């Protein structure tokens, strides 16, 4: 079983939930930008959350399914189209063999996830299937996807052909993931204080949680540069590098903020003024350049509670979806 890249997109890569345990070599976790959308996409097709998916940016690849396949598309809405018919996101779809999926235009978001029942079965590198672009390793040959790439897919135990309605190129199964809460009101992003937060001057501390910050176009899988008021430290402070995480908000020497994202370096030497809630990173990474956001300060316990709730929901969703699939057409 495989799916083929019929026409490549601008930056589409194979990703999973990340590569942990190798930071002593400077190898960062990487993985999907939006862990929530990827986990939902996997749940909808009966995969564990850890399965590898294709992360697509717009303009996204055209994908040819060479055999009948159970898929889902979650995250950004790039108006997916199968056989000239728009198809829904956040819903399991059975796609007939030799059918092409393409994406028409951006409605919202930055990254969308194509999950395929069985998972993208590329060879793991250091226990993960995530593409490490810098190291040219992991994922599909360590690079973004090009024309004619054949992505191996794990085997399916479902009789998918019988799930298709006669003569149709695809069938949307009659259930959907509720996702709205996650991406609603992404203009307010919750933060916890970073270790150098208290080194900001009074004005800057105030601005951090009241001013508008715009996502700039100088943003990518490594980090999002934000445009906003120039923030300052009370006193100059020379830092030694420390470990950083996805969501760490660093203050650059010019007074602007950068939010570190999936492909961030393992260590950083700029003041850490805050950390975006992990549960809100999906909303943050899906914000498009030009979009403005505001930060809201919370305590770390709130961040943890929200994340645990989100993970519980995802686990429940995963169980329910698998059950639905197992009982479908029985």
Partner 1 sequence: MIFYKPPPQRPIYGLLALFAEKRNLNGLKLNYTIYPSGERAICFDLGARMDPELNQQIRSLYNRLTIQPFTGFQDAVMAYSSLTVYYDPYHIYMKEKPSGSVKDWVSRKLLEAWETIGDRETTKTLHKIPVCYDPEWGMDLENLALTLHRSVEDLIQWHSAPVYRIYMIGFQPGFPYMGETPEALQVARKTKPVPVKAGSVGIAGRQTGIYPFDSPGGWHIIGRTPVCLFDAAGNPPVPFRPGDEVCFYSISREQFDQLNQERHVGSHI
Q: Which of 3, 5, 14, 27 binds partner 1 (CB under 8 A)?
A: 27
Distance CA(284)–CA(276), nearest Å, equals: 9
Candidates 202-210, 226-234, 298-306, 316-324; binding stretch for partner 1 (CB under 8 A): 298-306
Question: What are 154's two structure tokens?
Answer: 């794990």
Distance CA(39)–CA(51), nearest Å, equals: 9
Tell the smallest beta-carbon distance from residue 224 to partner 1 (Å).
15
- Comparing CB distances to partner 1, the nearer of 61 and 279 is 279
- Comparing CB distances to partner 1, the nearer of 109 and 271 is 271
Greatest CA span in the chain, whole angstroms? 71
Q: Contact between 312 and partner 1 (CB under 8 A)?
A: yes
Beta bridge partners of 292: 214
SS (H, E, C) 20-39: CCCHHHCCCCCCCCCHHHHH
Site for partner 1 in 63-82 (CB under 8 A): none
Tell the smallest beta-carbon distance from residue 137 to partner 1 (Å).
4
Question: What are 158's two structure tokens?
Answer: 């479902």
Distance CA(64)–CA(98), nearest Å, equals: 6
Q: Give the E-state strand segments of 2-141 in sequence order.
A: 2-7, 13-15, 53-56, 62-65, 69-77, 80-82, 85-86, 93-95, 99-103, 108-116
Using CB under 8 A as the binding criterion, the count of chain residues that bind partner 1 stands at 47
> Binding mask 222-251 vs partner 1 (x if CB under 8 A, - otherwise)?
-----------------xxxxxxx-xx---
Q: Contact between 48 and partner 1 (CB under 8 A)?
A: no
Q: Contact between 157 and partner 1 (CB under 8 A)?
A: no
Q: Which of 14, 16, 29, 231 binds partner 1 (CB under 8 A)?
A: 29
Residue ranges that bind partner 1, judged by CB under 8 A: 20-29, 125-126, 132, 134-137, 142, 192, 194-195, 239-245, 247-248, 265-267, 272, 275-278, 300-301, 303-304, 307-308, 311-312, 315
């Amino acid at each position: 079983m495989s799916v083929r890249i019929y026409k490549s997109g601008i930056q589409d890569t194979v990703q999973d939930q990340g590569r942990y345990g190798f930071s002593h070599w400077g190898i960062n976790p990487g993985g999907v930008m939006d862990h929530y959308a990827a986990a939902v996409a996997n749940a909808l097709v009966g995969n564990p959350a850890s399965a590898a998916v294709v992360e697509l940016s717009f303009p996204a690849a055209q994908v040819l399914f060479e055999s009948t396949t159970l898929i889902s598309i979650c995250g950004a809405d790039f108006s997916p189209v199968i056989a000239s018919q728009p198809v829904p996101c956040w819903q399991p779809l059975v796609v007939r063999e030799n059918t092409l999926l393409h994406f028409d235009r951006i409605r919202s978001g930055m990254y969308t996830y194509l999950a395929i029942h069985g998972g993208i079965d590329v060879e793991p590198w250091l226990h993960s299937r995530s593409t490490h672009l810098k190291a040219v390793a992991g994922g599909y040959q360590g690079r973004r996807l090009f024309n004619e790439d054949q992505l191996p897919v794990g085997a399916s135990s479902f009789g998918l052909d019988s799930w298709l309605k006669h003569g149709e190129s695809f069938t949307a199964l009659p259930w959907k993931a509720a996702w709205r809460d996650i991406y609603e009101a992404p203009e307010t992003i919750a933060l916890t204080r970073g270790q150098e937060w208290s080194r900001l001057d009074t004005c800057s501390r105030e601005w951090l949680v009241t001013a508008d910050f715009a996502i700039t176009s100088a943003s990518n899988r490594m980090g999002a540069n934000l445009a906003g008021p120039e923030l300052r430290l009370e006193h100059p402070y020379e830092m030694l590098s420390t470990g950083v995480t996805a969501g760490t908000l660093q203050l650059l020497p010019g007074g602007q903020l950068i939010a570190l994202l999936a492909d961030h370096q393992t260590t950083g030497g700029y003041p850490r003024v805050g950390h975006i809630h992990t549960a809100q990173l999906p909303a943050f990474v899906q914000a498009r350049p030009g979009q403005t956001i505001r930060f809201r300060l919370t305590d770390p316990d709130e961040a943890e509670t929200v994340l645990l709730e989100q993970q519980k929901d995802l686990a429940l969703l995963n169980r329910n979806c698998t059950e639905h699939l197992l009982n479908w057409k029985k």
